[in-house]
Structures are given as structure tokens and as C-alpha cells.
Amino acid sequence: MQGRGVVRARAGAVARATLRAEHPDPERRRKLELAGSSEERPSSQDRSLETGRSGRLLIVDDEPSVRLLCKVNLQFAGFEVVEAENGSQALELAQAEDFDLILLDVMMPDIGGHEVLRRLSEKSNVPVVFLSARTGLADLREGYALGAVDYITKPFDPIALGDKVREVMARVARGEADAYRQERLDELDDNRS
């Protein structure tokens, strides 16, 4: 089974994301195709029974092409995905709904990702993974210091995103969020040496 998410963009052009569903089971392939359409989607309970996986994710990014790329690949990996186009919308959704993990951009026009995480931390313990083009050591350290469980830098491999999210969620479920965060910080120190 392969899901391929590809973004191609030229300067001044709109990036496009495409999905190629190649599941060998025709019924599963039909459900995957429906999950990407506007028709009724399978519930997270149905999906977890069907795939052995579950998880409700919030993707927060001001770039529609990035949200679409994440959404397509994460839905293909069996996750239920909700999108927010800015920090304000993310805070509203996070207060009104339950999520298993939030993928959060750092640089957004209204409320930046760091401030969103500060506000979320006051009311929730939902794990947050930053998804950002800011790759400096100070940026990564700040993200972890604020409580992010992980930090994915753009550009990223969209096909591996589902596995990465699953890995983070498993570590958090086992109570290893702090240890996982510390491992990432140690890797930053090792790479700097």
C-alpha cells in the first residue's frame, strides 16, 4: 500500500498536492477515496477498528498547500484530520474539540505558533509538534522549551509524516513525552558539537 503526497510549486504559482491511493483491497480503497471527498467520512471509531490505528489531529498552518499535503497523507495513514488556517482558529477549535495531537506552524500572521502553544498549555495537555521553516538552533530550542514534543522542519517528507505522528503519539501515550523532548534536545547538542 502506497500513498504519495507531492507538492510542486513554481514562483508565483499555487502549490498542488495529489494523492494516489493504491490499496489492494477495493473496499478499503473506496473508503480511502471517500475520506478525501466531501461525502460522509468514516468515524474515528470505524477507522480504528478497520486499521488498528486512530487519532484525531489538528493541522495549523496559514499555507493551504501545506495543510492539504499534511491532510492527504495523514488521512491516508488512517488519521482523522481537522484544519485551522491561523492561530486564532486553532485556539477556538482546540477549546471546542478534542484532539490527540496538534501539528502547529510557528510563523503565522495573526497569532504565532509559540503564542498558540503558550495559550494551549494553560488549558490543555494535548501534545504539540511544531511544523516550521524556522530551522535555527535557537528556534528549535525555544519550541522544545515551550513544551513541544517534537519539531518537524520544512521541507519535510510528507510520506513519512504519518509514521512520525504515530511515533510521537505512542511515546506520549507511554508517558515518555518529556524523555522524547529531551532526546531531541540532546540530538541538537550532539549535532552542534
**DSSP strand pairing (16-18 vs 80-84):** unpaired
In the predicted model, is pLDDT for residue 24 greater than 60?
Answer: no
Mean pLDDT of 24-52: 45
In the predicted model, is pLDDT for residue 116 greater than 60?
Answer: yes
Q: Which CATH architecture has domain 14-192?
A: 3-Layer(aba) Sandwich (3.40)
Question: Of the candidates 163, 151, 158, 147, which has an alpha carbon nearest to the alpha carbon of residue 188?
Answer: 151
* The predicted structure's pLDDT at residue 79: 97
In this prediction the pTM is 0.70
Instruction: Write the DSSP string, 64-101.
Output: HHHHHHHHHHHHHTT-EEEEESSHHHHHHHHHHS--SE
Task: Work out the pLDDT band at 181, boundaries 50, 70, 90.
Answer: confident
Q: What b/e string do you get for 14-31 counting C-beta neighbours within 10 Å, with b at 16 or more? A: eeebebebebeeeeeeeb
In the predicted model, is pLDDT for residue 145 greater than 50?
Answer: yes
Partners of residue 16 on adjacent β-strands: 8
* The predicted structure's pLDDT at residue 44: 41
- Residue-wise pLDDT for 75-102, tens only, equals 999 999 999 999 999 999 999 999 999 9
